[in-house]
Structure 1
Amino acid sequence: MLSIVSGYFLQPLVSGNKDAINTIVTIFSILAGFLIAVITFIGDPGLRGWKELQLDKRSAQAKLSRHRMLFHLYLLTLALALAMFLVPETYITTQLWLERFFVGSATFVFLASFSLPRSLSALQMERYETALAEQLPDFLKEQGTTGEK
């Protein structure tokens, strides 16, 4: 809802403002590159064994699907920016709606991007815990399972 409202009311801020459009395009280009790195990182099986990989398969697929969708939304935002430059200025109504969709899309995708650090941190902690469990000495594993300290 916020993206629809911002697309409608903030459109005048980007209309004819090539610097604002270029700034948004630059930001989303960088975010798209970062997201590809995150997708690659999530898809890496790391040091885990086959049992852990099998158990985590659904979770990894869900995360990859969400990040792929976000990447496509980045590309859609960039495509709208390109369309704004390609549509002749004589098509005023088309230009107006492209700008509205561009601002709305940029707002939505920017807000959705705030989940990336949390997702990446959770993934890192999962990998850390797995590596720790694999390297934990046997006598500590036994103490942990019996409740002794």
Structure 2
Amino acid sequence: MSNVVETVTDFLMPILDEQNFELVEVEFVKEGKNWFLRVYIDKDGGIDIEECALVSERLSEKLDSADPDPIPQAYFLEVSSPGAERPLKKEADYEKAIGEYIHVSLYQAIDGEKIYQGFLQSVTPEELVLKIRIKTREKELVLERKNIAKARLAIQF
């Protein structure tokens, strides 16, 4: 499966570079009996449906004309924006998210909790600092990057 992701990424990057779009993520997953090739793209100011359609058409053409077929099984291709709750994966994602409200899931609990939400204060390769609210108090929480299972932008209610 990672081979599919790598191959698709290789086909995709020239298309995205030409349009000045950013690749957020490529995933190839089986849900039920169906396979899905999902491509998440973005750009400054956000991506629209016509831009997703353009990338979908161009990528589909490249994949269909490749020999041998890089994805021999049937699959659904979905090209979309990462949305308001965009995942934070690359270092640049974290840097761009400083000052933003984020959701973090941990591998190991801290103070009995594995999920935290708060404002990202700073980030280094080893840790990030979140400003969290516990009832009426604000507290800075230092999280080791190696303990972060997933992180994404979040909508604050």
Which category describes the TM-score, using the shorter chain as reference length?
A: under 0.3
Which structure shows the bigger proportion of residues in strand conformation?
Answer: 2
- Relative to the length of structure 2, the TM-score reads 0.22
Which structure shows the bigger proportion of residues in helix conformation?
Answer: 1
- Relative to the length of structure 1, the TM-score reads 0.23
